[in-house]
Chains A and B, each alone.
Chain A
Amino acid sequence: MKLTRRELLAGAASTLALTATAAAQSTPAPIDPTRVRGRAARVLGQRASTEPLQRVGRGATASGTPHEALMGIITPADLHFERHHGGVPDIDPAHYSLLIHGMVERPMVFTLADLKRFPSVSRIHFLECSGNLNRTAGPETTAGQLAGLTSTSEWTGVALSALFKEVGVSPKATWFLAEGMDAAKLTRSIPVSKARDDAFIAYGQNGEPIRPEQGYPARLFLPGWEGNTNVKWLRRIELSDQPFMTREETSKYTEPFANGTARMFSFAMDARSLITSPSFSGTLQRGPVEINGIAWTGAGTIRRVDVSTDGGKSWHAATLQEPVLSKAHTRFRYQWNWTGGEAVIMSRAVDESGYMQPTRAALLALRGPGTATYHLNPITGWVVRADGRVFYNEEAWG
């Protein structure tokens, strides 16, 4: 973050310098803010004009979080990644309802106001698209362009188990279909066991109603599971004793393996870490450098993050920011002294199950060069060149 701020200040300074040159000697010195009354209060806050944060564009159906510009573990709601399959619908909350039917004692309809009458839950969790690795990334790739399809928010809503109690789910029901209210009417089959575990329906995000691109007014939230299963604009849940084999869980969101199979219902996101600073397009100064980034796992908590500054030959334990939350981004930090010369910095995460984030070579051997882009979590890194400029450590896939 220091780097980014430094760069921004440097950029702002050079802009001022150019302006000063263009206006010759007529431009007055910058106003001393202690000598002039500031602006009045306003009803909606804005970012500093010198911090023009925005998401990373990825075409019409997705945009990513600019991790290189962020700090801590919470993603601002307007910078949370988005991914949709039929555009972002406009839904009038007054006409929103959720239907739960199928293998239940009482098929029922819940309005948004009904959902908010149930006891609420609020939890901090990451959400990650399962296709969150830019496999064609070149040296000039930012952290957000590489892996911007993961974000962390505080999500507020109602436990799915409470709704299932309300409708009387049959003990014979093992799966449920979740359907969205968008033009794709996106559907996924989810094991009922996830409702007993920690699934909920979210209507709040970071203290406010969830954003339209996050599923306003209500979405399914399945902590630690691939983004696509967290069905947005949720309008219908159907209990069943078998999966429905929808398009999204068969022809899409399945992963070919080198052994001639394709894995389906790959719900949990495996442990992963990403150094967000330094990263492209930063420039280092010799001396102390804080290497920091985020780590996360669908298995629960991050146990350890190791950092290497020699391309993976040796590893050092990073400090994890407390509290370390289950199924949430965990900020890690490692203090490094850059003495000059080229270096490759990398990070690898280990989660509570003992699982260690794999090398690209190990993952490639398992999955094969032709595999789909889903669930790819290799160790990645950044090259610090001798002049201090930082670039993505490009590695070909296959």
Chain B
Amino acid sequence: MNRTHRALALASSLWLCALGGVVAAQAPLGIGRRATPAEIAAWDDDVRPDGAGLPAGSGTPAAGATLFAARCSRCHGATGKEGPNDVLVGAQPREGFPFAKDPAIPHTIGNYWPYATTVFDYIRRAMPPDAPGSLSDTDVYNLTAFLLHANELVAANAVIDATTLPTVVMPARPHFVRDTRTP
């Protein structure tokens, strides 16, 4: 780094400090407008692991099976195992979490997904790709129930709703660890 570069670096760091000071001390500028409750409700459709955001309604594996055949099987296979897109169904392996050892093991809802609420959130958010947003909340509950049952996570007569979905035990969950690299 020559003298010019040092001077530039010093000047830019001083400038950044000054900018940081301005931002930190800044009061609201009065730009933008308040969101209405209706606007928030129209877009706020995410679901958290604690169940926050889950709508009213419920679903069952039996009802979901019919819907899966009609709307999902073209990409995920008749039983959710055949593809050609993501393999969704497969309860094994339940022990050892050997995904790093064997690239042939598909990452399914049953063996890899750590949270059941994610299934509902993702289907409602993005599925099916040829008509995203076209499924009703009841449809999504039914499909979620079907996929959880197919992965041997809930019984055939289970009713999946805002109360039961967050309680579904996902075998993969203890294997997930937060990143500990220093930033």
Contacts and interface: CB of A to CB of B under 8 A. Distances in A.
Interface of A: 85-86, 99-101, 106-111, 114, 117-119, 121, 159, 161-162, 165-166, 168, 177, 179, 183-187, 235-236, 238, 240, 242, 244-247, 250-251, 254, 256-268, 270, 299, 322-323, 353, 367-372, 398
B113 A250 contact: yes
Q: Give the top 4 A-B pairs by smallest Cβ distance, nearest first.
A: A368-B100, A256-B99, A247-B122, A370-B103
B101 A250 contact: no
Interface stretch (B44-52, B59-67, B153-161): B44-52
Contact of B100 (A99, A177, A257, A270): A257
A185 B132 contact: yes
Contact of B26 (A108, A162, A168, A179): A162
Given A165-B28, A166-B29, A247-B122, 6 more contacts: A109-B33, A117-B29, A162-B29, A166-B31, A236-B43, A260-B175
25 contacts: A86-B132, A99-B40, A101-B35, A109-B39, A159-B23, A161-B24, A162-B26, A165-B26, A183-B129, A186-B126, A187-B125, A242-B49, A244-B121, A245-B118, A246-B121, A254-B176, A257-B100, A261-B97, A261-B175, A262-B97, A263-B177, A322-B1, A367-B100, A370-B99, A371-B99
Contacts, number: 180
B5 interface: yes
A262 B1 contact: no
B21 interface: no
Interface of B: 1, 5, 8-9, 19, 22-24, 26-29, 31-35, 39-40, 43-44, 46-50, 96-105, 107, 109, 112-115, 117-118, 121-122, 125-126, 129, 132, 172, 175-179, 181-183
Contact of B112 (A187, A251, A367, A371): A251
B97 A256 contact: yes
A301 to B, nearest CB: 11
A267 B8 CA distance: 30
Nearest to B100: A368
A255 to B, nearest CB: 8
A260 B129 contact: no
A157 B118 CA distance: 32
A86 B126 contact: yes
Contact of B23 (A161, A323, A353): A161
A187 B121 CA distance: 10
Contact of A250 (B27, B102, B115, B181): B115
Q: Which of A185, A235, A369 has the most CB of B within 10 A?
A: A185
A299 B176 contact: no
A119 B22 contact: yes
A256 B99 CA distance: 6
Contact of A106 (B34, B132, B175): B34
A114 B28 CA distance: 13
A240 B31 contact: no
B107 A268 contact: no
Contacts of A177: 46
Nearest to A161: B23
A109 B26 CA distance: 19
Contacts of A245: 48-49, 114-115, 117-118
Nearest to B115: A245
Contacts of B103: 369-371, 398
Nearest to B119: A247
Contacts of A108: 32-35
Given A108-B35, A161-B23, A245-B48, A264 B177 contact: yes
A354 B100 CA distance: 27
Contact of A185 (B117, B125, B181): B125
B122 to A, nearest CB: 4
Contacts of B99: 256, 262, 368, 370-372
Contacts of B1: 322
Contacts of B8: 323
Contacts of B44: 101, 236, 238
A218 to B, nearest CB: 13
B113 A242 contact: no
A244 B46 contact: yes
Nearest to A196: B24
Nearest to B97: A260
A118 B117 CA distance: 37
A243 to B, nearest CB: 8
A247 B121 contact: yes
A202 B46 CA distance: 24
B101 A258 contact: yes
